[in-house]
Amino acid sequence: MTERTAESVGNLGYHAHIYYDPAKTRGIAERVCAAVGEKFPVEIEEFRDVPRGPHPISNALVIFKPDQFEHVVPWLMLNRDGLDVLVHPLTTDAVEDHRGYAIWLGNPVELKLHTLSQGRRGGQLPKGVTP
């Protein structure tokens, strides 16, 4: 079996999906996103009050390049303020990105993996990154 290294898997970046409840914790999510956006070169893509794609819960999407992982993820571990966060890479397999390759900060949420394309890229890449 060939070892699948980060290079052979072809990861082009990461998403941090910060889950929130629009009626209760949107303000917390806004504060967390504002802080992470001030500290690191990330893109705060949008607040999705209506759940979309594989995510069954409202979430704010933070996009960043691979070299920011070691900065952004430890910061979120300590500063997510009780919110659950899904961090997943952006490889050539959108299903694995959200299943085998993903990490959770807080409580994992069951995702709708059938909405994703197996064996294909999915999800918005960081600005300036092309497949």
* Contacting positions for Zn ion (CB under 5 A): 15, 123
Min dist. Cβ of residue 31 to Zn ion (A): 21
For Zn ion, the closer CB: 15 or 48: 15
Min dist. Cβ of residue 3 to Zn ion (A): 25
Task: Return the H-helix or E-strand segment holding 77.
Answer: helix 69-79
Nearest to 19 by CA among 103, 78, 107: 107
For Zn ion, the closer CB: 3 or 110: 110
For Zn ion, the closer CB: 15 or 65: 15
Q: Give the number of other Cβ atoms within 10 Å of residue 41's Cβ.
A: 13
Residue 27 makes CB contacts below 8 A (sequence gap 6+) with none
What are residue 19's DSSP bridge partners? 59
Min dist. Cβ of residue 2 to Zn ion (A): 27
**Residue 35 is which amino acid?**
A
The closest residue (CB) to Zn ion is 15
For Zn ion, the closer CB: 123 or 126: 123
Min dist. Cβ of residue 90 to Zn ion (A): 8
Task: Determine if residue 35 is left, alpha or beta; phi over 0 gives left, psi from -120 to 50 gives alpha, anything else beta.
Answer: alpha
